[in-house]
Structure 1
């Protein structure tokens, strides 16, 4: 009667399973990527091989708060869908977001591409916004503090009303910013390039009115025009 040697059987089994596992790994490594015609998802997280988060693509309801490393903090105002960018540390450093709907019978619509300073808010922004008849589109450059924002404090700002208390909370959270460059359309539909000093005061304005009148204006630290150049002046 034929007998099976248990030790040899176990060895053969191990060899077969190793071969199968190896084939599966090699096959997975060489298999072509999956292809889809349509994918419906609520959120996509793009990560590095070590798990570091590098991008979020999501709708408004799932885009989440402000992610800094392994911590997530409530965002005081973000209510848009889009993409959020993260640096090599997994900290948010910009994004592309957009929204739009009818509010009280008028269109409210916005899109924004931003790039942040390290652990701070945006220093560069391309934006288009409209609120009924009020609208503008611009390229904006901001100064931001050297110190990081206090992410544990900014969530409550979304529930605060505008005023002195909220202004103080913004300063405490180190969310202050100073606009230095504005290039775009203004609320009155004129085209404008304004350059500001480190305190956010306009010092040089190039402007073309909707009807076509053009001017270059130099201003002092109090906002008074000290010189103005215009055709025919």
Structure 2
């Protein structure tokens, strides 16, 4: 009889998959040499995605085996000591892309980090990727391809962000359903606070304090 209660004080491995009783992966812990593919409906929907990136992390999967979020992190340093570091924690909409993200980026001391919310359409992401690739491979003109891809991705927009920019501003940004920034609250690098309301074209219609 197999011993299902073995205890280990230390395990060293390059990838660890947690599976259900049927062997379906529910969670994958991996190093940069074993980055999992982007799986949806049992298919790698983005072949080569992330495979050349210096990331390790933890990937989440739902009951159907679809990737549904994860934690990735990593960094690069060149021979001159220049570096880039990053981390991201995401949660995905069912059969879609991320709707919640917490991220950090640091490019040689230029740092930005924060929390973002997204809207996603009620369309299967695998089908959207397939349609987009077909458009790219079609005989349409560049302008027609751009328009068709924009229509295919319609409804996939960032709606909110709270964080700190590379310029040192701490801000809260709220976007409309088209992804246009409409409210912006900022405490800038000089500790000066301001609040702005914008129209759909990005023009400031009202601000506090008034100029």
Q: TM-score range by the shorter chain?
A: 0.7 to 0.9
Task: Tell me if 1:85 matches 2:57.
Answer: no
TM-score (structure 2 length as normaliser): 0.81
Where do 5+ consecutive residues of structure 1 fail to align?
Answer: 1-23, 156-162
CA spacing shift, 1:187–1:121, aligned 2, 3 Å: same
Quote the residue 2:169 is aligned against.
190
Contact 2:155 2:178 in 1 (8 A): no
Quote the residue 2:85 is aligned against.
109
Where do 5+ consecutive residues of structure 2 fail to align?
Answer: 134-141
User: Of 49, 54, 59, which residue of structure 2 is paired with 1:76?
Assistant: 49
User: Of 118, 128, 135, which residue of structure 1 is paired with 2:94?
Assistant: 118
Give the length in aligned residue pairs. Answer: 198
Q: What is the SS of the residue equivalent to 1:60?
A: coil
TM-score (structure 1 length as normaliser): 0.74
Q: Whole-Å Cα distance in 1 between the matches of residues 18 and 180 of structure 2?
A: 41
Q: What is the SS of the residue equivalent to 1:39?
A: coil
Determine which structure has the larger helix proportion and give its number.
1
Quote the residue 1:215 is aligned against.
194
Contact 1:190 1:210 in 2 (8 A): yes
CA spacing shift, 1:38–1:175, aligned 2, 3 Å: farther
CA spacing shift, 1:114–1:107, aligned 2, 3 Å: same
**CA offsets 1:167-226 (integer angstroms, 9 cap, x no match):** 679658749731110000012111000000011111111100111100111111111111
Structure-to-structure mapping, 1:1-233, within 5 angstroms: 24=1, 28=2, 31=3, 33-73=5-45, 74-77=47-50, 79=53, 80-103=55-78, 105-149=81-125, 150=127, 151-152=129-130, 171=150, 174=153, 177-230=156-209
Greater gyration radius = 1
**CA offsets 1:127-186 (integer angstroms, 9 cap, x no match):** 00111243201100011121112355789xxxxxxx979967965874973111000001
Contact 1:65 1:75 in 2 (8 A): yes
Q: Whole-Å Cα distance in 2 between the matches of residues 211 and 52 of structure 1?
A: 52
CA spacing shift, 1:198–1:94, aligned 2, 3 Å: same
Deviates more, 1:200-209 or 1:143-152: 143-152
Cα shift at 1:68: 2.1
Deviates more, 1:165-174 or 1:119-128: 165-174
Q: Whole-Å Cα distance in 1 between the matches of residues 154 and 36 of structure 2?
A: 19
Cα shift at 1:76: 2.9
Quote the residue 1:13 is aligned against.
none
CA spacing shift, 1:141–1:89, aligned 2, 3 Å: same
